[in-house]
């Protein structure tokens, strides 16, 4: 079972080739390819993306949404409806004081405002929203932003 | 000033470390991938660094007792008991030091009189012989070879013992070969030490970093050995804390007592910041340590395979983070091979001779380097080996 090891490597660097991964895990390229395919099929690997530092370009907001659950399916239908909007980058069902946490990206402040007023709050079932704007990203998907690489080791040591 | 007269002859005559010589060459070159380091490529785990910061924040900036913090000694005692299965009394049998380095120095100074002899196995860690010389005692290497997978042969040990022999220094897993002593061998070594009344100084700084599926056994845990063994261990390697400069010695109270005497005059104590970080590492550092260990394991498997594929015969080392591939078939000395590799491919590896003359024909390559860099280094080395081989066939 190389799947967990494979995931760990890919989560750190999705650009590694099957050949590189095979060498690192001491297995064959075929084994890596088939494990990867299996993980994709299972939906465990959802996609491969690049982590971009866009703090200084776009605007992002985390919106807490309270809504009424439906008799059948609870929050699912509404959550999926919200998640389908292009502006929505992530959407989670939460425990606690609100129901959905929706992360939205837009070109500017007005973009976010428009999304919240025109689309989100007017949606049937949405009771209230509370919008928090991102000011600065320190860490995303396990990667630290803007940290100068740690101090140099001396190149020859006992 | 007449320096010949002014400086200590004993120190002036000590040979310069072969590592140091190589370092001076590497330092001038740019864009080097180095397999020449002797320390982890991980930063100290954050929870340990955080403990150090918190210690400073609380204003803990004083000396501690010469014995170090009692809480640290208790944590060491517990850890050593769990890991090495030897019990040491935290009140008098454990001494926290500024790295294993200082513990070696203290121990040798407290054990040796001028003219005494210390045996150690070569290729071995660079500081042993010079530190013995500084006490005006004599260090005698026992050569190990690939035939014993660089573990000390009990027979060679027995042959090397002379009436002046007082101390045996051991280091398993070994820097620079990564070798380990099989339990059977360790038992025979212990028998010999008891028979000849030899004291053992065992540097087990790499003991957590084992990849051969065996659990580490300390010679101190073998019957009748605790009273004639000083066990040295530290935080540098397994917990990636080289810069914290913290280690410890565990052994008979008579020896620890004497070591504390020197320690109280020359060092006082390791920094309290490091001591408090050390407590955190011992208590909660296991998951991070195991993750680092597993990462070294994968890299070891990778690099040994690559070396063998490129024609450098390389045994599978059981521990530490070093490989010791042979370059004999290329018809170059270790030093020439390393120099040309550095010049032509910008990969730095340390000539085996830096660790004793029987390291001739070998390189020490440390794989505590990011996988991407390891891959690049291996590609470059493969290229280099190929070019050497084609030159050989042309001749
Ligand atoms: C075998 C061995 N002993 C001791 C040391 C020094 O350890 P410390 O950092 O604890 O002084 C090293 C460091 O490379 C080593 O390889």
Average pLDDT over residues A19-43: 95
A26, A153, A156 ranked by CB distance to B302: nearest: A26
One domain, residues B266 and B295: no
B204 contacts B231 by C-beta, under 8 angstroms: yes
One domain, residues B337 and B301: yes
Over chain B, what is the mean pLDDT? 95
pLDDT at A141 over 90: no
Percent of chain B with pLDDT over 70: 99
Number of structural domains found in chain B? 2
Tokens 């071995």 found at? B124
ipTM of the complex: 0.71
Q: What is the pLDDT of residues A5-14, one digit of tens each?
A: 999 999 989 9
Phi-psi sector, A96: left (phi>0), alpha (psi -120 to 50), beta: left
Phi/psi of residue A109, each to 5°? -55, -40
Q: Nearest C-alpha of chain A: how many angstroms from B150? A: 18
Q: Which residue of A has its CA nearest to B27?
A: A155
pLDDT class of A151 with cuts at 50, 70, 90: low
Q: Which domains does chain A have, with CATH numbers?
A: 2-42 (1.10.10), 59-136 (3.30.70.920)
Can you give the CATH number for the domain in which B23 is found? 3.90.1150.10
pLDDT at A104 over 70: yes
- pLDDT < 70: residue spans in chain B: 394-395
Q: How far apart are CA B55 and CA B61, in angstroms?
A: 8
Last residue of a domain, one of B238, B262, B285: B285
Taking each helix axis from N to C terminus, what angle separates B99-111 and B253-266, rounded to the nearest 10 degrees? 110
Closest ligand 1 atom to B39 CA: 14
pLDDT at A57 over 90: no
pLDDT at position A143 is 85
A26 touches chain B (CB under 8 A): yes
Q: How far apart are CA A85 and CA B135, in angstroms?
A: 76
pLDDT at position A125 is 93
One domain, residues B131 and B231: yes
Helix, coil or strand: residue B305: helix
Q: Which residue of A has its CA nearest to B36?
A: A156
One domain, residues B261 and B276: yes
pLDDT at position A67 is 95
Q: Would the CB atoms of A158 and B302 count as touching at under 8 Å?
A: no
Q: How far apart are CA B325 and CA B338, in angstroms?
A: 12
Q: What is the pLDDT of residues B283-333, one digit of tens each?
A: 999 999 999 999 999 999 999 999 999 999 999 999 999 999 999 999 999
Cα A27 to ligand 1 centroid, rounded to whole Å:
33
Name B75's bridge partners: none
**Residues with C-beta less than 6 Å from any ligand 1 atom:** A 158; B 38, 99-101, 125, 171, 175, 203, 205, 234, 236, 242, 247
A140 contacts A52 by C-beta, under 8 angstroms: no
pLDDT at position A20 is 94
A57 touches chain B (CB under 8 A): no
One domain, residues B61 and B162: yes
Q: Nearest C-alpha of chain A: how many angstroms from B38? A: 5
Q: Would the CB atoms of B38 and A157 count as touching at under 8 Å?
A: yes
One domain, residues B117 and B192: yes
Q: What is the pLDDT of residues B179-216, one digit of tens each?
A: 999 999 999 999 999 999 999 999 999 999 999 888 89
B166 contacts B178 by C-beta, under 8 angstroms: no
Q: Would the CB atoms of A155 and B37 count as touching at under 8 Å?
A: yes
pLDDT at A61 over 80: yes
One domain, residues B39 and B73: no
pLDDT at position B395 is 58
Q: How far apart are CA B212 and CA B180, in angstroms?
A: 9
Last residue of a domain, one of B269, B285, B301: B285
Full-model pTM: 0.89
Q: Which residue of B has its CA nearest to A150?
A: B43
pLDDT at A107 over 70: yes
pLDDT at position B143 is 97
One domain, residues B118 and B202: yes
One domain, residues B218 and B163: yes
pLDDT at A114 over 90: yes
Mutation choice for A interface testing from B17, B31, B34 by most A CBs within 10 A: B34
Annotate chain A with DSSP letters as a single string.
--HHHHHHHHHH-TT--HHHHHHHHTS-HHHHHHHHHHHHHHTSS---------TTTSEEEEEEEEEPPBTTTBTHHHHHHHHTSTTEEEEEE-SSS-SEEEEEEESSHHHHHHIIIIIITTSTTEEEEEEEE----SEETTEESSPPPPPPPPSB--
Q: How far apart are CA B181 and CA A17, in angstroms?
A: 38
Q: How far apart are CA B73 and CA B61, in angstroms?
A: 19
Helix (H) or strand (E) holding B109: helix B99-111
Last residue of a domain, one of B261, B285, B309: B285
Q: How far apart are CA B348 and CA B356, in angstroms?
A: 19
pLDDT at position B235 is 98
Give me the domain span that covers residue B197: 46-285
The residue whose C-alpha atom lies closest to atom 16 belonging to ligand 1 is B175
A49 touches chain B (CB under 8 A): no
pLDDT at position B170 is 98
Give the Å distances, CA to CA, from A15 to A19, A20, A51, A68, B301. Answer: 11, 10, 12, 42, 22
One domain, residues B297 and B281: no
Q: Which residue of A has its CA nearest to B354?
A: A158
One domain, residues B177 and B203: yes
Cα A149 to ligand 1 centroid, rounded to whole Å:
25
pLDDT at position A153 is 79
A26, A150, A156 ranked by CB distance to B348: nearest: A156
pLDDT at position A150 is 59
B39, B301, B371 ranked by CB distance to A153: nearest: B39
One domain, residues B266 and B311: no
């Amino acid at each position: 079972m190389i799947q967990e090891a494979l995931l760990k490597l890919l989560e750190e660097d999705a650009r590694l080739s099957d050949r590189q991964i095979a060498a690192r895990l001491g297995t064959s390229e075929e084994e890596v390819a088939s494990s990867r395919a299996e993980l994709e099929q299972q939906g465990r690997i959802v996609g491969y993306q690049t982590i971009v530092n866009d703090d200084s370009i776009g605007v992002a907001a985390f919106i807490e949404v309270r809504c009424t659950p439906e008799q059948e399916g609870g929050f699912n239908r509404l959550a999926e409806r919200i998640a389908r909007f292009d502006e929505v980058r992530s959407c989670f069902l939460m425990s606690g004081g609100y129901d959905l946490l929706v992360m939205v990206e837009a070109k500017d402040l007005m973009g976010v405002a428009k999304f919240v007023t025109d689309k989100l709050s007017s949606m049937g079932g949405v009771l209230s929203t509370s919008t928090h704007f991102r000011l600065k990203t320190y860490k995303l998907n396990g990667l630290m932003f803007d940290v100068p690489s740690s101090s140099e080791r001396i190149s020859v040591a006992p | 000033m007449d320096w010949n007269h002014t400086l200590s002859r004993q120190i002036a005559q000590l040979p310069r470390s072969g590592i140091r010589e190589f370092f001076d060459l590497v330092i001038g070159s740019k864009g080097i991938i180095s397999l020449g380091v002797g320390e982890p490529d991980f930063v100290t785990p954050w929870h340990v660094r955080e403990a150090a910061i918190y210690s400073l924040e609380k204003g803990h900036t004083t000396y501690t007792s010469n014995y170090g913090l009692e809480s640290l000694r208790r944590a060491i005692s517990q850890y050593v008991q769990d890991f090495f299965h030897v019990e040491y009394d935290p009140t008098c049998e454990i001494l926290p030091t500024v790295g294993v380095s200082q513990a070696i120095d203290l121990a040798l100074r407290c054990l040796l009189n001028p003219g005494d002899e210390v045996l150690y196995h070569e290729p071995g860690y660079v500081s042993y012989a010079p530190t013995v010389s500084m006490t005006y005692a004599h260090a005698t290497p026992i050569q190990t070879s690939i035939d014993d997978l660089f573990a000390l042969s009990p027979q060679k040990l027995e042959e090397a013992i002379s009436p002046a022999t007082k101390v045996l220094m051991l280091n398993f897993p070994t820097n620079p070969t990564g070798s380990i002593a099989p339990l059977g061998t360790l038992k025979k070594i212990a028998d010999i030490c008891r028979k000849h009344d030899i004291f053992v100084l065992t540097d087990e700084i790499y003991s957590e970093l084992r990849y051969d599926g065996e659990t580490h056994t300390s010679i101190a845990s073998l019957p009748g050995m605790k009273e004639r063994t000083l066990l040295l261990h530290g935080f540098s390697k397994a917990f990636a804390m080289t810069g914290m400069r913290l280690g410890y010695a565990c052994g008979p109270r008579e020896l620890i007592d004497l070591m504390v005497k020197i320690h109280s005059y020359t060092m006082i104590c390791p920094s309290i910041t490091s001591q408090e970080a050390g407590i955190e590492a011992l208590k909660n550092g296991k998951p991070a340590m195991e993750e680092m260990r597993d990462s070294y394991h994968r890299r070891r498997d990778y690099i040994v395979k690559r070396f063998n594929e490129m024609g450098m015969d390389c045994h599978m080392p059981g521990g530490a983070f070093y490989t010791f591939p042979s370059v004999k078939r290329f018809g170059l000395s270790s030093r020439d091979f390393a120099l040309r590799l550095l010049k032509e491919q910008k990969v730095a590896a340390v000539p085996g001779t830096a660790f004793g003359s029987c390291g001739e024909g070998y390189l020490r390559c440390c794989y505590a380097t990011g996988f991407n860099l390891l891959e690049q280094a291996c590609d470059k080395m493969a290229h280099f080996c190929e070019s050497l081989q084609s030159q050989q066939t042309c001749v």
